[in-house]
Structure 1
Amino acid sequence: MKSNTDEVYIPVPPIRYELPEWYGNLFKQIKELVANERRRVMWEANRRMSMMYYHIGKIILNQSEQKGWGARIVDRLSADLKAAYPEMSGFSPRNLKYMQRFAKLWPDEEIVQRYVAQLPWRHNICLMEKTDKPNRRLIYAMAAIKNGWSKAMLELNLENFTLEREGKLPTNFDKILPDSQSDMVRQMFKDPYLLDFTGADRNSREKEIEDGLTNHITKFLLELGQGFSFVGRQVHLEMGGQDYYIDMLFYHLRLRRFVVIELKAIPFAPEMMGQLAFYQTVVDHTLRHQSDEPTIGLLLVKSKSETIVKYSLESINKPIGVASWETTITKEIADEWKSTLPTIEEIEKELDSGYQE
């Protein structure tokens, strides 16, 4: 006969509604702690792996330059590393060559440690393959870290020259918006906007372009950038017994404000701003919640004179930006966009200044 001491005890957790009210917060606090620690461990493991790849690449680069050996040595090195560390991946000849290129393209190890090593390896391969400009690689690496871009998003932004276009449009934000908001709001907009996904060309009519934007609204939202939410097309507004229709209406979740977009298939003309400002006023009076910020207006035109836009903006008391649109990226356009980026020296100077602060 078994004694009581031989009985097996199986703990049964109490039902949740039997627990005290504070238990939910206790579990949530511990769960968040575990999740944060797991992310920190994964981030640190990724950083250490990237630095290991960087140092391996540096050794291969230095030895190949000194001794002049090539692909056969890399193939042999790959086989030996796989045999020595069968549990590890990443030692293929192709990846070893990426490591060598990684070290060559990033000669400043401090930059690698502080920024580049924070990116997953696939992101760094994308940067190496998609751009040959050192300043462009660094700027996109930093943006990918800041915004948490996936590899696919990084690739799309590189191909579309997203950072070269951000914050470049002429606006009156400095005059209309508070100092604490104007720069941030401007960075949410681009010039020009790339509408290559619409199937339109430079001779398309407004309705054809608008149809393309609506039919590919997900792609248009990607082009607009993070935070934009689509409200509607040809949004009906009634004021003074008359009907008005906004081309496209969006709401920006981060800026907490509506954005009215008017699309034009013709060059900019000053009178376009009066209509847009009127639509902004109507939205502010009919749709805007008391906690929302004032509505922003974005005028998309086929082309524009910077001088005429500048003078036209001075007489408008609503926050408006004017951008052109393009349907293709030519080599001339790409070269012009690339030239707008700061140099490596300028970037490093700004980084050092911020680091010291």
Structure 2
Amino acid sequence: MMDKKELKPINHDFLNHISAVLDNARKNAKTAVNLSMVYAYYEIGKIIVEEEQQGKNRAAYGKQLLQELSKFLTDKFGKGFSVTNLKQMRQFYMIYSTDQIGQTLSDQFENLPSVDSGRKFFLSWSHYLKLMRISNEDERYFYEIESVKNDWSLSELKRQYDSSLYERLALSMDKDKVYRLALEGHHPETAKEAVKDPYVLEFLGLPELPEYSESELESRIIDHLQQFLLELGTGFAFIGRQVRFTFDEEHFMVDLVFYNRLLRCFVLFDLKIGELKHQDIGQMQMYVHYYDRKVKLPEENPTIGIILCKDKNNAVVEMTLPEENSQIFASKYETVLPSKEDLQKLLEEQIEVESK
């Protein structure tokens, strides 16, 4: 018989592996239950609408119907079936019985059932309660697709909506590509489409500081790297901070270096807390040229350079950058959430100009 002293300690990787399997199973089970309830609420909404349409005095009949149904379901199933909740189910059916999500997304979830209209659902009921409050159909499509693709929690969906992600992306696109946002989500194909202006960094917690340095801004970004990657968008991977290279016996540091898997190129960030100067653009041009000539592989695409600044003069940017340059950008950053109304107005004005 083996002495207890000879027993080897249990491998922690083994324990963690088993734990991960169970965590994943529980998550999948929870997801399945949530999705089942979404489909059930859609069906309840459908039945309510069909019943209301048979009532002679629809307004009065509908009110009585919901009150009696609420009492019946609450007595039988408990909480969750107030008149307000039933109205939300009715609204859910009325909104989603007539629309179709992008086919690409549906193809990725062939195992999910379809409702009578052919529509599939991918998110929790809480997600759809938020989405239903978005009146613009194209915008609602976009946030649903991005939530699924990026596995956004409800809080992240709210944050992306509050930061006006749809409008900020659309401002960098022509009219046809804005339409594609609603069908496919964000799939950057060019350097310009991968860059936002402005970037919203309210999660850094900087507004309370009367002043801060560029190193403080950089440190805050690193401390909130996961949120910063979400703000950057699809396909970004972090490479390093203060990445050093030597050129002509002089040392240089790139503040932040990322790689975008979709565009297959390096993306360099230079951080500026004041107004952008033409020297800053010249410096970024040198960084980009070095990476293109010394770092990137032949099969990779040209490097993108982004100068992230608190303020910029567009005239200075236009005069400093060559007209043919399509790889270097100057973007403002906001430490508070921007006005959604202002961005929507800018987008509407841009689309109107392009339509003429």
Please indicate the TM-score interval, normalised by the length of the shorter structure: 0.5 to 0.7
Q: Partners in 2 of 1:45 and 1:311 — Cα distance?
A: 57
How far residue 108 of structure 1 moved from its aligned partner, in angstroms, is 7.2
Change (3 A) 1:154 1:184: farther
Q: Work out whether residues 139 and 166 of structure 2, in 8 Å CA contact, stay in contact via their aligned partners in 1.
A: no
Q: Partners in 2 of 1:153 and 1:102 — Cα distance?
A: 21
Matches within 5 A, 1:1-357: 49=40, 51-56=42-47, 58-59=49-50, 66-68=58-60, 73-81=65-73, 91=81, 93-103=83-93, 106=95, 109-111=98-100, 113=117, 117=121, 119-128=123-132, 131=134, 136-144=139-147, 149-166=152-169, 168=171, 183-201=189-207, 203-315=211-323, 317=325, 319-330=327-338, 333-340=339-346
C-alpha distance after superposition, 1:230-249 (max 9, x if no partner): 11111111111110011111
Q: Secondary structure at the match of 1:265?
A: strand
Q: Secondary structure at the match of 1:109?
A: coil
AA paired with 2:126? R
AA paired with 1:80? F
Change (3 A) 1:268 1:203: same
TM-score (norm 1): 0.66
Instruction: Quote the residue 2:105 is aligned against.
Output: none
AA paired with 1:109? T
Q: Partners in 2 of 1:111 and 1:339 — Cα distance?
A: 27
Runs (4+) of structure 1 exceeding 6 A deviation are 41-47, 69-72
Identity of aligned residues (%): 27
Count of aligned pairs: 289
**Comparing 316-325 with 249-258, which one deviates more in the overlay?**
316-325
Q: Partners in 1 of 2:222 and 2:345 — Cα distance?
A: 32
**Comparing 206-215 with 234-243, which one deviates more in the overlay?**
206-215
AA paired with 1:336? D
Change (3 A) 1:322 1:48: same
**Comparing 149-158 with 241-250, which one deviates more in the overlay?**
149-158
C-alpha distance after superposition, 1:17-68 (max 9, x if no partner): xxxxxxxxxxxxxxxxxxxxxxxx9999788546424424534776698233
AA paired with 2:191? V
Q: Larger Rg: 1 or 2?
A: 1
Q: Partners in 2 of 1:99 and 1:45 — Cα distance?
A: 14
Q: Partners in 2 of 1:72 and 1:54 — Cα distance?
A: 16
Instruction: Quote the residue 1:354 is aligned against.
Output: none
AA paired with 1:101? Q
Q: Work out whether residues 163 and 340 of structure 2, in 8 Å CA contact, stay in contact via their aligned partners in 1.
A: no
- Give the root-mean-square deviation of aligned CA atoms: 4.0
AA paired with 2:304? I
Change (3 A) 1:220 1:118: closer
C-alpha distance after superposition, 1:61-115 (max 9, x if no partner): 766982336877534303434678x6x99755453131133356x3872458466
Q: Secondary structure at the match of 1:248?
A: strand
Q: Partners in 2 of 1:217 and 1:301 — Cα distance?
A: 18
Q: Secondary structure at the match of 1:223?
A: helix
Change (3 A) 1:193 1:64: farther
Q: Secondary structure at the match of 1:314?
A: coil
Q: Partners in 2 of 1:143 and 1:114 — Cα distance?
A: 20
AA paired with 1:127? L
Q: Secondary structure at the match of 2:140?
A: helix
Change (3 A) 1:145 1:334: same
